[in-house]
Amino acid sequence: MSAGEFVPIGVSLVGLRQAAVSCRGCRLAAQDGVRTVFSAGDPLARLALVGEQPGDVEDRRGIPFVGPAGQLLDRALADAGIPRADVYVTNAVKHFRFRQEAPGTRRIHVTPDLEHLEACKPWLLAELGIVDPAVVVLLGATAVRSLLGPELRVTRDRGRLIPRPTWPDEPARVHLAWWLITTHPSAVLRTPDRDAAYAALVADLRVATAALTG
């Protein structure tokens, strides 16, 4: 299964977003009460951020990174000198994957599998192709796994500019220059030494913003 057949060719970002509403490219869309959470932010942004998948709050509001992790991310972006409104924010997977003990109880996040990443990747490549940012920041291991594959590691490879890879199926328009790996804001929230983890996230984001001006 893949989103490929649902992704329209030659449309704007608005057209992509509209088509993504009815994507059935993997089984996540068949879960009860979920919707496609596409992206947010500036469609002309020079900096794009890719997370994992929408969480519970994002699914309910239909906007990526608006829950606790999103609030931390907003603060980190501001501290790195770039307002959230100036960046493009999206996720490797556009549907919330969760488990639930019983209907009506709390929906618990489940990490997407490789099959979901592969299925949803056509949306990601299409949107990055249209936005065409200069730098793409990968927030955490899932985004890295989706776009750069298993060779790169968050802890080992974070915080430095990585020349962009090429994909056999890449859209013709993509000519973004750099990738940068950093930690996921949810990981910062879970770390015992949250202040140090937050400072490291901000430092990484500063490397990305410096690449925009430099």
CA atoms of 139 and 147, how far apart (whole Å) = 11
Q: Which stretch binds ligand URA (CB under 6 A): 27-35, 57-65, 100-108, 200-208?
A: 57-65
Which position's Cβ is nearest ligand URA?
51
In the complex, the smallest distance separating the C-beta of residue 132 from ligand URA, rounded to whole angstroms, is 21
- Build a one-symbol-per-residue string for 91-110: x at contacts with ligand URA by CB under 6 A, - elsewhere: x-------------------
Size of the site for ligand SF4 (CB under 6 A): 16
CA angle, 173 as apex, 12 and 209 as ends, to 5°?
A: 90
Tokens 């949250």 appear where? 194
Which residue in the set 16, 28, 45, 58 belongs to the binding site for ligand URA (CB under 6 A)?
A: 58
Contact 123, 171 (CB under 8 A): no
What residue type is assigned to position 47 of the chain?
L
8-state DSSP, 30: G
Within 113-172, the residues that bind ligand SF4 by CB under 6 A are 116, 119-120, 123
Contact 108, 97 (CB under 8 A): no
Binding residues (CB under 6 A) for ligand URA: these are: 51-55, 58, 64-65, 67, 69-70, 91, 186
